[in-house]
Structure 1
């Protein structure tokens, strides 16, 4: 099974009962305040304050923001900035709809920075082109040099490990990645170094990614 799949729909749900969660993202920390994106709107909250959407900033440190959503508290960091509101805590699930070519694309937070990715079960690891790797601040000086075979021949590449990869409410730590030394691939590939650590299935045309226990 091979998917080479722009994001049409992304839902954070509760299993077994479907429940669409609020989209709450930590964007920055400023002393005793934090900037969030809540359902597409920017909100600057001080500790103890509640947004119009009902998200309360309980406390904030230089490392994380503690928020309360629907009576449940969650710690958000810049490395794992996305929260999900659950009626009962089970496993976070992301549902992706294919584009017109059958590709599944979504936004990911990699080492705390946002990048568009495309699901590719044919890729061994997450694969970046060189410009994207530099824009994400990846330290290639500490990466392991290697060569890879591509459609255009043998290319120089680098192997490294990402601290965290977050999609929706799913976060995986210490994920292997490959950086090619040119502009290929044009879109970052979400390969098996991430996909093999989540449960994945197709259902009614959707691609489901589900966090493991």
Structure 2
């Protein structure tokens, strides 16, 4: 039952936002009583925390699986982008923003975990790109991986990128291309251009 509650809560939180969804909403959607939820989660904050970390772990596992199979670091980043977008439902309700505003402690811990995971993952990907000649061998891997995280976090800031003006899919696509064009070698540029041309609708 705990897993079912986590799954349904995640679905509602990502679609409607952490603030908007009540324990009553979750109970009604599942056809159970609020008491059943409270058996597993003493309050909404604990439920939000469990959902956030559960989603994080699931996305990390998915990213690890993508990294193992990707033919090159360029397609790897695009596959990760698609995977994250699919699981975060384009962040229609700006869950990151709501988490930061209404649950700042959870947001702070989660952001640090995200940074650790992404920093390690991107560093590994960058090194692989340098080793295979897809990225320039002069790039500063530690600096670039930190910049990548900063940029990915920055495009989710509604103050800088109002959602009515910029869709999240457009932002992630544009930032990814911006990031890659700054670091690819000539060989990487060919792979990137071919990939973009092949995947344009």
TM-score range relative to shorter protein: under 0.3
Structure possessing the higher radius of gyration over alpha carbons: 2
Name the TM-score, length of structure 1 as normaliser.
Answer: 0.26
Higher percent of residues as strand: 1
Name the TM-score, length of structure 2 as normaliser.
Answer: 0.27
